[in-house]
Amino acid sequence: MNKRANGVLLHITSLPSEYGVGDLGPAAYEFADFLFRSGQSYWQVLPLNPPAIEIPHSPYNCISAFAGNWVLISPQLLKEDGLLTAKELADKPCFPDKRVDFHSVIPYKRKLLNKAYRRFKSRPIEQDYERFCRENSFWLEDFALFSALRRHFGSVLWYDWSAQFRDSSKAAEQSLVSRLSDDINREKFLQYEFFRQWYSLKRYCNERGVKIIGDIAIYVSCDSADVWSKPRFFKLTKSRKPQVVSGVPPDYFNKAGQLWGNPVYDWPALKKADYSWWFERIGHNLKLFDVVRLDHFRGFVAYWEVQAGHKTAAKGRWIRAPKDDFFARLFKKFPDSAIIVEDLGHITPAVRAFVDKSGFAGMRIVLYGFDTDKKRNVHYPGTHIKNCVAYSGTHDNNTIQGWYESTSEDQKARLFECIGPKVPTGQLHWKLINVTMKSAANLTIIAMQDILGLGAKARMNLPGSFSESNWVWKLRKEQVTKAIAGKLNKTTKANARARL
């Protein structure tokens, strides 16, 4: 990322699809073509892991740090492989076209995938499938067993299962597991199909000069295969429930802080194991993506932990992580890796100095650049450095248009100092996109909602809220026009960021 370039932020679930939710099928390839035509070098997506809670469908609270989200598997590609029929695809609910209705999507796709699995297991075992299972056994075996048990026990969280099933090493020996063998094999099939479709899409993008940026959420859900199978790496009680949980302290935006509720890591135990789980996870993601973004980088330096049972994050404490040792070993193991760090939120001078010392590309959010005086604001476009990634906004921000309609007069005044006082109607988003691309940052990323000039209803997520309106925005096929591609291409070229 040492050359000027631009990319677009759009999660897979937001792609157009006649099957209710964006997937890895034809629309993903069409979007890759749009990026190619508009001179883009990067496509940034959110975590691809399966959410622990299906609604709201947050990709940052997952039941596995390694598995892929089966909801993203394309029915159309399964039909092309002979695993589904045209008649089966034609029989579908009437899905909304502007948002994802996970209430309808999840049971519909589960039914389709069950049919695909029945056809798959009636065929001779494929060598590619056997190789996939063998190469991914370090996480796949535990995940498939956990998922089958989780479905068997229903709404009971794993730490309330009977003792022999709470212990992953004992669970595999139980007679129940043999009765669940079909469910276990089904989970392996779904993972095989997900990764087969993903790598095909990634290869298509790379052949057109488009690299993919993927996100690694710092924490996993307590109700996850990782915590179940590797409890020693998390701060748990003797009954294997979280002793302390994750969050961030109170700040200007939230007086109670944010209580995320994920179990936090036992870093001394991770260090004793040579950080094996983390390095397996990062290595896995470096195969999935060309560039990875480490979410909540602050937590790798020091993390905020709150006693389990507290209703807010206000009464927590900072705990230091072994950052120097961890990252020294990380650089040795992955010397040529491309990593972006999410250094937003409560960032102290010491954390900022560590980011600079490590050589990581940090983040700058242009919409934050107008919160305060530009001389004291690292997000103001004129203060950006080369080794950073400048965003118009992320999945956690309002859209440009939505931000403008709700922001203060002081912020608007600082905005117009930057872009000029006269902005033609409907052109505010392009003005700010242009300002973002003019940044000194080597890489800039523009959210697809901002390219389209959409308002607050197109916002992807409101942090700290569990609203069902989070994670559901969906792009419509007719919005991705030649005119939009041409405008984006022209703006990218004008700022010397177009892909050669």
Which residues belong to the active site?
A: 295, 342, 396
From residue 158, alpha-carbon distances to 147, 175, 181, 458 in Å are 10, 18, 19, 36
The string over 64-86, giving b where at least 16 C-beta atoms fall within 10 Å of a residue's C-beta and e elsewhere, is bbbbbbbbbbbbbbbbeeebbee
From residue 119, alpha-carbon distances to 33, 105, 123, 461 in Å are 32, 21, 7, 38
Q: Are 232 and 270 in contact (CB under 8 A)?
A: no
The string over 116-136, giving b where at least 16 C-beta atoms fall within 10 Å of a residue's C-beta and e elsewhere, is bbeebeeeeeeeebeebbeeb
